[in-house]
Amino acid sequence: MSKFEIFLSYCWSDDEIAGKIETSLAKNDTINLHRDKLDIGTWRSIKEYIHSISIMDYTILLISDAYLKSSNCMYEVLEVMRDRNYDQKIFPVVINSGIYKPAIRAEYVKYWQKEYEDLNNSLQGIKIQNIGRLGDDLKRAQNISANVAEFLDMVSDMNNPAIEDACMAIEGKLKERKFIASVPEENSHKNLSSLEDFIDESAFTKTTKISDYQINQFMQQSFQEINDKMRDLAKQLEDKYPYFQVVVEKNDSRNYLYQFYKEGKLIKGIHIFLNQVFGNMTIRISTNFYSFSNNSWNEEYISQDIDGKLYLVSQFSYVSKEYKMSSEDVVKDIWKKYINPYLS
């Protein structure tokens, strides 16, 4: 059986998270996971090792502040970007959620611009025959400076998982791409039957009740649909009424912040976030739009099984029309209660 080559790109300060991902993927014998601590022997060339990244099937990127300021890590990013379809071959795990803010992304561009300028100034006065590989370092800093904005723009536009969901999301993506094979049903049954001396199989009854897994999948999908529609309506508002501006900030796959401006003045903001209580997810709305804090909220939508089908239901309303809500119904409810009164 052929194996798939997966590269784990990370900064050593994030070694604990890298270790968890390595442990999670190690149980799959169809994957060869590569990371520097596993592959690079003592006194071997780091640069030669990094050159091998471009031939990997897939690359996992642990993106933190330290990662984005590391020359070696960003050199790894450049190697990944050599592939024209590199955005289809990466799996970003965003540790530094600040990259979703344009101002923060701009700071990283300025950081690498300054790194290039500082090194360039340091090389002034050195004769070309004496410069050695410092010229390569200068070129690398220039390439990072020229490409970091494109890389951050692309990553910040992706629906990246929250850190706590990263391992599950990575395995799901690899299964989707056939990198990890699902356990065949017959093998699963075979393993179960080997326990028949210890477990009464008659106790394994099937249930038609909607599972926690199905509920959480429904809530995650609904949350994404709600925010997709919110962003679409915000764009329509700006296009139709130029004196309105809407800033949308995505902290991670569970947090969105919307700020509404009229003629440059902030008139309203809301925080929409996916919360998890006792195993099941809920969608909450907070008018505390100054931060991504999840400690308070003004509205909560839960899932409810009605005649074997899942719907969204407002927890804070007893109006009958707010039962059996779709994602679009929730968006209408949000605009009616929290946005429209402030636009006029």
Predicted confidence (pLDDT) per residue in 167-189, tens digit: 778 777 777 766 666 544 444 44
Residues 19 and 140 in one domain: yes
- CA-nearest of 48, 47, 53, 55 to 35 is 53
Asked if the model's pLDDT at residue 200 lies above 90, the reply is: no
Q: Which domain holds residue 232?
A: 212-343
Length of the chain: 344
Residues 239 and 332 in one domain: yes
Q: Is residue 179 a part of any domain in this protein?
A: no
- Looking at every residue in the chain, the average pLDDT score rounds to 80
Contact, 298 vs 287, CB < 8 A? Answer: yes
Residues 147 and 242 in one domain: no
Rounded to whole angstroms, how far apart are CA atoms 180 and 28? 7
pLDDT in tens, 109-166: 999 999 999 999 999 999 888 888 898 889 989 999 999 999 999 888 888 877 777 7
Contact, 160 vs 93, CB < 8 A? Answer: yes
Residue type for 291, please? S
| E strand or H helix that includes residue 134 | helix 134-156
Q: Is residue 200 a part of any domain in this protein?
A: no
Rounded to whole angstroms, how far apart are CA atoms 323 and 128? 74
Contact, 304 vs 313, CB < 8 A? Answer: yes
pLDDT score for 194 = 52
pLDDT score for 288 = 75
Judging by DSSP bridges, how do beta strands 90-94 and 58-63 pair with one another? parallel
Q: Is residue 38 a part of any domain in this protein?
A: yes
Domain count, the chain: 2
Residues 127 and 8 in one domain: yes
Residues 335 and 216 in one domain: yes
Q: Residue 17, CB half-sphere, CA atoms under 13 Å: how many?
A: 24
pLDDT score for 165 = 79
Residues 220 and 96 in one domain: no
Asked if the model's pLDDT at residue 314 lies above 80, the reply is: yes
Tokens describing residue 226:
């709600």
Among residues 112, 145, 167, which one ends one of the domains?
167
Q: Which residues contact 318 (CB under 8 A, 6 or more apart)?
A: none
pLDDT in tens, 42-62: 434 445 555 556 677 888 889
Rounded to whole angstroms, how far apart are CA atoms 273 and 163? 15
Instruction: Please indicate whether residue 204 or residue 149 has the higher confidence score (pLDDT).
Output: 149
pTM for the full predicted model: 0.51
Residues 245 and 302 in one domain: yes
pLDDT score for 191 = 47
Residue 284: which pLDDT band, with cuts at 50, 70 and 90?
Answer: very high
